[in-house]
């Protein structure tokens, strides 16, 4: 979003998904061309910083401050802070945010990953990296667990397989050419290498991949895309579902269905007139092998599925953001602060204090409150 200085290398390089690719001896108007964020040599007191909006709000588990290729020009040390806020603030709006330090002042080694564990169960939306006194960082990696805002689930059907909503690919049979974890990426594949491709199947059973959905939900449709797989797409798929909430066995959701190469396939479950299938997990079999670019699971959270998401979200919000959520819903400051401080909570009806404020929180957690701008 912003940085204190970008004299030698732009801040955007920090988030480049590719490894650092520095070519020594390449020069431009600003000096040697670097693959990272590098600030000018500081001649006064102070430090440098970069502000990052997380791709998905969630719990941060580790941070890698990677100084690869920065040898005589890496920072001496760093610290990392994080905050959680409503809406879509600009850099200036975050100056007075409730920043929490998640990595204390720590030395940085040159030309390598510097990994710091984070022990904090708060849901954050933004991170601020501070380095001193100046210097360069190649990449910044922030690893964690997405925490879905339940209000997003009230907008209609969503992609229940998307990591933005907390879903995950937990296992697969093979990923020889490219990993299965690409299947649920929220973007569109740009090449064949952006999808999932297994080795050629000579004597084993069908390949498979296991999805943990965002929450317990009703499945409306599957979208199975073989984009860019023209001569090596999977010939067919079988999809099974399981409702782990009910300890159910795997049941067939989509019978064996042939696929076309380089094609987006949509399989609807809303046309049959029967009750929509409920699932927490899906298992897709790719026959006999081959490639898929993306899989979308279009659906809507069940009542208990949304409730589970809402409680995790509410109990991990920073206190200042929890207060902001209630204030936006019309709760007075004192009552909002009381409810935010009383967390973790299972049922707002069990709390002491203003019953009207508790009812507002109950509506937010159950999805009956008016939607407000949020992140």
Using an 8 Å Cβ cutoff, are 3 and 37 in contact?
yes
The Cα 268–Cα 44 span in angstroms is: 63
Per mean pLDDT, which range of 106-115, 320-329, 335-344, 350-359 is the poorest?
Answer: 350-359
**Confidence band (pLDDT; 50, 70, 90) for 44?**
confident
- Residues in CB range of 203: below 8 A, 6 or more apart: none
Q: Domain boundary residue among 88, 119, 146?
A: 146
Number of domains the chain is built from: 3
Q: What is the mean pLDDT of the chain?
A: 91
CA–CA gap between residue 344 and residue 339 (Å, rounded):
10
d(CA 77, CA 83): 21
Distance of CA 241 to the CA centre of its chain: 23
Is position 373 within any domain? no
The residue segments making up the domain with residue 273 are 151-301
CATH number, domain containing residue 110: 2.60.120.260
**Chain centre to alpha carbon of residue 247:** 27
Q: Are residues 159 and 277 in the same domain?
A: yes
H, E, C per residue of 6-37: CCCECHHHHHCCCCCCCCCCCEECCEECCCCE
Confidence of residue 272 (pLDDT cuts 50, 70, 90): low
Collapsing DSSP to helix, strand or coil, 323 comes out as helix
Contact 91, 51 (CB under 8 A): yes
The residue with greater pLDDT, 145 or 344, is: 145
Q: Which token pair is 288?
A: 């006999």
Residue 350 has pLDDT above 70, yes or no: no
Assigned domain for 311 exists: no
293 and 339 together in one domain: no
pLDDT in tens, 112-169: 999 999 999 999 999 999 999 999 999 999 999 999 999 999 988 999 999 999 999 9
Lowest mean pLDDT among 192-206, 210-224, 289-303: 192-206
Percent of the chain with pLDDT over 70: 95
- Give a yes or no: residue 134 inside a domain: yes
If one counts every other C-beta atom within 10 angstroms of the C-beta of residue 37, the result is 27
pLDDT mean over 222-234? 96
Whether residue 53 is found in the same domain as residue 137: yes
Rounded Cα distance between 125 and 52, Å, is 9
Strands 100-107 and 168-172: unpaired
Q: For position 354, what pLDDT does the model report?
A: 77
């Amino acid at each position: 979003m912003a940085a204190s200085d970008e004299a030698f290398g732009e801040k955007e390089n920090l988030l480049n998904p590719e490894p650092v690719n520095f070519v020594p001896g390449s020069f431009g108007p600003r000096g040697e061309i670097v693959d990272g964020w590098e600030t000018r040599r500081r001649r006064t007191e102070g430090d440098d910083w970069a502000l990052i909006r997380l791709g998905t709000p969630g719990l941060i588990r580790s941070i890698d401050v990677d100084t690869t290729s920065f040898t005589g020009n890496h920072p001496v040390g760093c610290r990392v802070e994080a905050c959680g806020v409503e809406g879509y603030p600009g850099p200036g709006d975050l100056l007075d945010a409730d920043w929490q330090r998640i990595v204390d002042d720590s030395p940085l080694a040159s030309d390598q990953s510097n990994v710091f564990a984070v022990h904090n169960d708060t849901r954050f939306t933004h991170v601020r990296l501070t380095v001193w006194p100046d210097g360069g960082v190649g990449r910044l990696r922030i690893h964690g667990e997405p925490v879905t805002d339940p209000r997003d689930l009230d907008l209609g059907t969503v992609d229940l397989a998307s990591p933005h909503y907390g879903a995950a690919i937990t296992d697969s049979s093979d990923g020889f050419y490219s990993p299965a974890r690409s299947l649920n990426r929220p973007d569109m594949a740009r090449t064949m290498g952006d999808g999932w491709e297994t080795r050629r199947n000579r004597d084993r059973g069908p390949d498979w991949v296991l999805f943990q959905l965002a929450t317990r939900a009703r499945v409306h449709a599957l979208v199975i895309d073989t984009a860019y797989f023209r001569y090596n797409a999977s010939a067919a798929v079988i999809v099974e579902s399981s409702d782990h909430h009910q300890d159910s066995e795997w049941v067939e959701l989509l019978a064996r269905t042939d696929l076309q190469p380089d094609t987006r396939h949509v399989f609807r479950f809303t046309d049959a007139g029967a009750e929509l299938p409920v699932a927490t997990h899906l298992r897709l079999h790719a026959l006999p092998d081959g490639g898929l670019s993306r899989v979308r699971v279009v659906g809507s959270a069940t009542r208990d599925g949304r409730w589970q998401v809402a409680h995790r979200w509410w109990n991990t919000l920073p206190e200042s953001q929890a207060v902001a959520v209630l204030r936006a819903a019309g709760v007075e400051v004192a009552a909002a602060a009381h409810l935010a401080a009383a967390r973790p909570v299972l049922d707002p009806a069990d709390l002491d204090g203003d019953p009207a404020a508790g009812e507002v929180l109950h509506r937010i957690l159950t999805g009956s409150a008016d939607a407000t701008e949020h992140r």
